[in-house]
Amino acid sequence: MSVNRKIQTLDEFTIQQMRDFPHATGELAGLLRDIGLAAKRVNTEVNKAGLVDILGDAGSINVQGEEVKKLDVYANNQFMGVLQHGISCAGIGSEELDDIVVFDDPVSNNSKYVCLFDPLDGSSNIDVNVSIGTIFSVFRRVSELGKPATQEDFLQPGNKQVAAGYVIYGSSTMLVYATRRGVNGFTLDPSIGEYTLSHPNIKCPEKGKIYSVNHGNFFQYEEGVKSYITVCQKKDKATGGPYTQRYIGSMVADVHRNLIKGGIFMYPGTTDKPKGKLRLLYECNPFAFIMEIAGGKATNGKIRVLDIQPTELHQRTPFFVGSKLMMEELETHYKG
Ligand code: AHM
């Protein structure tokens, strides 16, 4: 007899997915569980962010006698800690750290995955109670199992990602992750402390009504980008314009909204910063992967983001991501 389960937790879901692959080792499920756990801890601290003046500023000592860390350092340590002490990850790369951290112990050296993450993206928004997030990307190692992971494991193009996802600390906390099988979203139910499947098989609408870009930089964008932005603002039956402009300045929140509702997010290069601001490995690759699996597109203005061969850990890239038809319209104006 099979019981009809209405609620499915993240763990139940990943185990269910494993059952379809009899040869799966459970390492990826373990990795996602570890990420989910670290995110719960970060979520607890993010929710208390407004209390920081009561509990003590970064650099001071809190009531428990512990040093109060800046939230992004705290988040970095939580993710690094759970992955290091888990059994599914050979090493990490983090936006917070200059270099990769290879765990190099007998268990980790036999783990087949490495993980890259931005522990707290949009952290400048914490002070004003705006949604922020964690972004992660998982690669299968190319180095020999049984030995420590190497830089090569981390510098793989995004099309080699095995999974990618994000956690949004918003009006509710959600973990969304993609594998080649689909994109699924789980909302944290605070009453049981579990992520439960709330957004199964997310598909990005082919076309939306939202464009997200930092307008303050408008005069620094290339002509093609300006031309597309102008199209977004025009009343036009063919495009469905004018679109609505929405830009939080917290990428996880901006792209999450556009993924669900349909839309386009752009962080182009500027005359001051031709490569833009966003990091290929920690921000763009994961969102490009998620969006493509959901049916959307992601480019740097010239090529698919997922086809960029990274040369350094912290490299930046212009980034355009969103609904398929809106991205195709952008391409008619801007070829990088
Ligand atoms: P951060 O690493 O300082 O948090 O910056 C990343 C954030 C993204 O979440 C967001 O899309 C972008 O910076 C906003 O930048 P800008 O204020 O230049 O528009």
Sorted by where each begins, the domain ranges of the chain are 10-199, 210-333
What tokens were used for 160?
């080699």
CATH topology of domain 210-333: D-Maltodextrin-Binding Protein; domain 2 (3.40.190)
220 lines ligand 1 (CB under 6 A): no
Sheet bearing 182-189, strands edge to edge = 101-102, 91-94, 113-121, 132-140, 161-169, 173-179, 182-189, 194-199
Confidence of residue 49 (pLDDT cuts 50, 70, 90): confident
Higher per-residue confidence, 58 vs 55: 58
3-state helix/strand/coil string of 231-297:
HHHCCECCCCECCEECCCCCHHHHHHHHHHHCCEEEECCCCCCCCCCCEHHHHHHHHHHHHHHCCCE
Q: Is 249 in the pocket of ligand 1 (CB under 6 A)?
A: yes
279-290 mean pLDDT: 98
Please tell me the number of Cα atoms within 13 Å of 223 on its side-chain side.
0
Contacts of 98 (CB under 8 A, 6+ apart): none
Give the separation between CA 297 and CA 323, rounded to whole angstroms. Answer: 6
Residue nearest to atom 3 of ligand 1 (CA): 122
d(CA 244, CA 248): 13
Please provide residue 284's backbone torsions phi and psi, each rounded to the nearest 5 degrees.
-80, -45
What's the pLDDT tens digit per position in 62-86?
A: 554 455 568 889 999 999 999 999 9
Q: Three-state DSSP class for 127?
A: helix
Counted residue by residue, the chain has a size of 336
Considering only CA atoms, give the Rg of the chain. 20
Computed over every residue of the chain, the mean pLDDT equals: 92
54: confidence class by pLDDT, cuts 50, 70, 90: very low
Is residue 249 left, alpha or beta, with left meaning phi > 0 and alpha meaning psi from -120 to 50?
A: left
The residue whose CB lies within 8 Å of the most ligand 1 atoms, and thus the one to mutate among 251, 252, 273, 281, is 251
Q: Is 216 in the pocket of ligand 1 (CB under 6 A)?
A: no
Taking each helix axis from N to C end, the angle separating 251-261 and 285-293, rounded to the nearest 10 degrees, works out to: 10
pLDDT digits (tens, 9 = 90+) for 107-155: 999 999 999 999 999 887 887 888 999 999 999 999 999 999 999 999 9
**Amino acid at the residue 192:** I
Q: What CATH number was assigned to the domain covering residues 10-199?
A: 3.30.540.10
Please tell me the distance between residue 249's alpha carbon and the centre of ligand 1 in angstroms.
5
Q: pTM of this prediction?
A: 0.93
